[in-house]
Amino acid sequence: MFKINKVQAHCDIPCKVYDPSVIQYSALSIVRFIDLMNEEINDAEMNSSNIAQLSRLVTVKEQHAKEVKNEVSTIWGDYFKEPQISKHPEIHQLVHEIMQLASKCKQETRRENGVELLKKINKFTEIFWETKGIQTEKKYAPYPPELVIVCPILKSV
């Protein structure tokens, strides 16, 4: 009836459901995929199976970098309003740095870029939860690459 081809949103209702854990997971995944790519290149001969595996790793790494950019821009653009921005004016520069690092992670295979991306995302996460009055703590992710992530301290049931 309406011939709508494609619809996407998160969401302009607004739903008030925002959580930076998705971008942390994506950043951890980027580092992990870079590690796996380097292992694949260093440990294996480049036959068709290994090239196919490397291609999959690159593709998924880039998908996660794109997801970082999408989710960060959504939280920054939809959640952060005047009260949060006044309290954290550095958020604009931080988001720009995250976007630039996510692009570098797509373009390159340097692990340092992924680690730096996660550090910036952790700072973004701290600011986000602080604006909601929720304390955070730093923990090691329980899976490779076992890097530090910022976690909200949730209320007990």
Query: What is the value of pTM for the model shown?
Result: 0.89
The DSSP output letter for 155 is: P
CA angle in degrees (0–180, nearest 5) for 34-68-64: 40
> What pLDDT is attached to residue 17?
82
Residue 96 has pLDDT above 60, yes or no: yes
pLDDT of residue 13: 59
Strands (DSSP E) found in 5-147: 136-140
Q: Rounded to whole angstroms, how far apart are CA atoms 115 and 105?
A: 10
- 53 pLDDT higher than 70: yes
Q: Is pLDDT at 14 greater than 80 in this prediction?
A: no
**Is 7's pLDDT higher than 50?**
no
For the stretch 141-155, pLDDT in tens is 999 999 999 999 999
Percent of the chain topping pLDDT 90: 79
Element (H, E) at 95: helix 91-107
pLDDT in tens, 59-71: 999 999 999 999 9
* pLDDT value, residue 16: 73
Cβ atoms of 36 and 59 within 8 Å: the answer is no
Mean pLDDT of the 79-89 span: 95
For the cut 90, the answer to whether the pLDDT of residue 90 exceeds it is: yes
Torsion of CA 130, 71, 20, 7, to 10 degrees: 110
- Residue 11: what pLDDT? 57
Could you give all domains of the chain from N- to C-terminal order, each with its CATH number? 21-152 (1.20.120.400)
Residue 22's pLDDT band (cuts 50, 70, 90): very high
- For residue 46, is pLDDT > 90? no
